[in-house]
Amino acid sequence: MTTIPGTLDNHIGGREVPARSGERIQKFDPYTGKLQSQIARSSAADVDDAVQAAKAAQPGWAAVPAVQRGQILHRIANIMEARADEFGAVVAAETGKSLKEGKGEVGAAVQCARFFAGEGQRLFGRTIPSGTAGKLNLTVRTPAGVAGLIIAANTPAANVAWKVFPALICGNGVVLKAAEDTPFTAGWVARAAAEAGLPAGVLNVVHGLGAEAGEPLVLHDAVDVVSFTGSTRVGRRLAELAGARLKKISLELGGKNPFVVMDDADLDKAVRWAVLSAFSNAGQRCAAGSRIILHAPIYDAFAQKFVAATRALRLGNGDGDDLGPVINARQLANMQAAVDRARERGARVLAGGARADAPELAAGFFMMPTILEGVAAEDELTHSELFGPITCLYRADGFEHALELANGTAYGLTACIHTRSFDRAFLFCERVRAGVAVINAGTHGSEAHMPFGGRGLSGNGTREPGTEALDIYSELKNIAVNIDPSGT
């Protein structure tokens, strides 16, 4: 089998089925810019089929003891691990990343599956003392019902895992609307899950465009909980739709993450982390370090080293390359236009600034790693996420100013500070407005057992994955037991 087949269908009720309309979306290879495949273009009717399949299968799945549900998740993890080469190649081919990165993502997905498999042995509730004699109070987790999941394309294996495994361990039926730019990873996981013994209908995958296949999932009466990873713009719309229906929704949205370097930092280490924060995965990370805030005394020294390290980065899809293409032509065009507008407003380009023009990269969606300076605190580029390899330098007079700049956007996802001062480091973590604060490393996401999420425009307060994700995919039930002492 080729890594990427010529067509891809939905996975509904254990079967691979085309969209009812027969229509397909063209999916392009980010590395070559050429047509890669044609995927099902689903609409409300297909979403309804998938939701009905999930709804029908859910009670049977919920009746399987959570420990045994965990054993099936372990089997899925084993399949992903045993076929990491094949699965990683799918991730690499549909994103344009290297095989090494694709396999790295598979490793993260395996970790996530194993963590939630283990949660099947816990799914802890609480016992709560009552003020009434003879009364025992406890909480238990019950499945939410049908979970509607919508994900972004940036790290497809991790994005699928982050939502599907917690939803499954809690005993839900699942409908996943895959990202239209990375549909194959989702299809691969659905087939692996079937092979691992997940009953048909428990996990369904629909493909298609957001407005056509995503919105009907949020609007569907039989979907009990929605979890969305994507842009703030779409998240806000889905929050409105869910809110009007009093539907539970988890939103994992964008970021404009501050990377602060103080005058007492280890500059070489800070530069290494800044490069990774800003440019790894071609900057397509919600946690990307897109605002680099430099204490004035080290501004020039840091900028010089950072520019040199950035210019040395290698673009391509080989294991020795540093970054690949962005996911589609539209994103590339948006980035170029945003950089051009910033330039017109007086920003200076210190590195990159344009599409890569090397002959072997020119047809792909490659943006050169780009550093800008002279972008004002109130500028569009300071406040809007580009989701690509573009970062801006800002000058801070001191700690308070750096913190003010760090907190100067409406986002609040991740943040980091580089300093040797214990006090600066901890004061920063205490006062920065972010869901994740890091000392002397990069702005990055969490591991599978840690809660990740943001404030403000970065989310609505939920945390995924980690144990906290169980709160999204389960409903707590408080059970009260009255024990009659005369009953003996």
Query: CA-to-CA distance for 427 and 291, rounded, in angstroms?
Result: 19
Let me know: does 257 contact 458? Beta carbons within 8 Å: no
Active site residue 170: no
Report the residue from 273, 387, 428, 473 that binds ligand NAD according to the rule CB under 6 A: 387
- Among 179, 219, 278, 367, contact with ligand NAD (rule: CB under 6 A): 179
Cβ contact 313:324 at 8 Å = no
Q: Catalytic residue among 170, 286, 392, 416, which? A: 286
Residue 179 or residue 349: which is nearer to ligand NAD going by CB? 179
State which residue, 170 or 413, has the beta carbon closest to ligand NAD.
413
Catalytic residue among 212, 252, 385, 464: 252
Interacting residues with ligand NAD between 279 and 338 (CB under 6 A): 286
Q: Does 385 bind ligand NAD (CB under 6 A)?
A: yes
Hey, CA dihedral for 112, 115, 118, 123, is it positive or negative? negative
Contact 304, 408 (CB under 8 A): no
Look-up: residue for tokens 């007086």?
Answer: 346
Q: Does 158 bind ligand NAD (CB under 6 A)?
A: no
Nearest-Å Rg of the Cα atoms of the chain is 23
CA distances from 419 to 22, 239, 269, 427 (A): 57, 38, 11, 11
- Show the site string, 202-241: x = touches ligand NAD by CB under 6 A, - = not: -------xxx--xx-------------xxx--x--xx---
In whole angstroms, give the CA distance from residue 60 to residue 74: 19
Nearest distance in Å: CB 209, ligand NAD: 6
Query: Does the protein bind ligand NAD through residue 252 (CB under 6 A)?
Result: yes
Minimal distance, residue 85 CB to ligand NAD, in Å: 25
Q: Which is nearer to ligand NAD, 219 or 349 (CB)?
A: 219
* Least CB distance to ligand NAD at residue 387 (A): 5
Beta-strand ranges (E) seen in 76-134 are 127-128
Q: CB-wise, 216 or 364, nearer to ligand NAD?
A: 216
Residue 286 annotated to the active site: yes
Tracing tokens 């500059």 back to the chain, one arrives at 267
Q: How deeply is 250 buried, as exposed, middle or buried, from its count of CB atoms within 10 A (0-12, 13-18, 19+)?
A: buried
Closest CA to 235 of 250, 220, 256: 250
Question: Toward ligand NAD, which CB reaches closer, 234 or 332?
Answer: 234
Query: What residues line the site for ligand NAD (CB under 6 A)?
Result: 150-154, 177, 179-180, 209-211, 214-215, 229-231, 234, 237-238, 252-255, 286, 385, 387, 413
